[in-house]
C-alpha cells in the first residue's frame, strides 16, 4: 500500500517514491518468474489530478526459470514500466459514485484510492508478467537438446546418431546380415 496523504488532492502536486517491496506469490509463468523470496525495486511518480492519482513507475525484479531449449536453470532480471490511474471514490469531475455509472465492466477495471492509500500489487503483477520473455533461453544461440536421446547439445556439439532404418526395409537388412555371416541358407551353384 502506498500513501497519498502528503500529495494531497491539489491537482498538479507531484511526489516521487522509491521503495523495495517483497515479491507477491506466484509472480510469473510456468517456465520463468520472480522467486518467492525476492525483492522488487519500485520507483514511482505520483501526480494528483482532478479525478485521482496518476501513478507512473518502473519495477525491477530478479527472475529465475529454465531455458525452453535445453531446460537448464537460468537467472535474469526484468524491468517493467507502468502507468495507472487510481480514481478517488467520488470523482470530483462527475459527482457520481462508481456504482452509479451503470457500466459494470468499466467499474471492474477502475482502481480506486481507498482513504489515502492505494494498492499497487495488481498493477505491478500485470506489468511484470507482461514483460516476461515468452521463450526464455540461457543464451541466444542455445542449441537445445537432441530430439532423439535428450543429450545437451551445448556440451556435446558433435553429438550424432546412426542413420535411422526404415522399418519397411528392416527385414531385408536382417536377411542381408544373416547372409554375410554365413548363417543363412546356402545358395545352389549353377
List the beta bridge partners of residue 55: 46, 84
**Average pLDDT, integer, range 107-136:** 87
pLDDT over 60 (residue 9): yes
Distance of CA 40 to the CA centre of its chain: 15
* Structure confidence at residue 107 (pLDDT): 55
CA-nearest of 131, 130, 129, 113 to 54 is 113
* Structure confidence at residue 59 (pLDDT): 96
Distance CA 146, CA 31 (A): 20
Distance CA 30, CA 135 (A): 11
Question: Is the model more confident about 95 or about 135?
Answer: 135
pLDDT digits (tens, 9 = 90+) for 128-164: 999 999 999 999 999 988 888 888 888 887 878 877 7
What's the grid cell of residue 9? 488532492
pLDDT digits (tens, 9 = 90+) for 35-64: 989 999 999 999 988 888 999 999 999 999
* Structure confidence at residue 189 (pLDDT): 59
Amino acid at each position: 500500500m502506498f500513501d497519498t496523504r502528503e500529495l494531497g488532492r491539489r491537482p498538479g502536486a507531484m511526489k516521487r517514491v522509491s521503495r523495495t517491496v517483497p515479491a507477491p506469490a506466484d509472480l510469473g509463468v510456468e517456465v520463468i518468474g520472480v522467486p518467492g523470496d525476492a525483492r522488487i525495486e519500485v520507483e514511482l511518480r505520483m501526480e494528483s489530478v482532478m479525478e485521482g492519482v496518476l501513478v507512473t513507475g518502473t519495477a525491477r525484479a530478479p527472475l529465475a526459470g529454465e531455458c525452453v531449449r535445453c531446460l537448464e536453470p537460468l537467472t535474469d532480471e526484468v524491468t517493467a514500466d507502468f502507468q495507472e490511474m487510481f480514481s478517488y471514490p467520488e470523482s470530483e469531475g462527475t459527482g457520481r459514485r462508481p456504482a452509479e455509472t451503470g457500466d459494470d465492466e468499466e467499474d471492474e477495471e477502475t482502481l480506486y484510492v481507498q482513504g489515502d492509500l492505494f494498492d499497487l500489487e495488481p498493477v505491478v503483477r500485470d506489468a511484470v508478467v507482461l514483460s516476461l520473455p515468452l521463450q526464455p533461453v540461457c543464451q541466444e544461440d542455445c542449441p537445445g537438446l537432441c530430439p532423439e536421446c535428450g543429450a545437451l547439445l551445448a556440451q556435446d556439439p558433435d553429438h550424432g546418431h546412426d542413420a535411422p532404418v526404415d522399418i519397411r526395409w528392416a527385414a531385408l537388412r536382417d536377411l542381408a546380415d544373416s547372409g554375410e555371416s554365413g548363417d543363412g541358407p546356402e545358395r545352389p551353384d549353377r
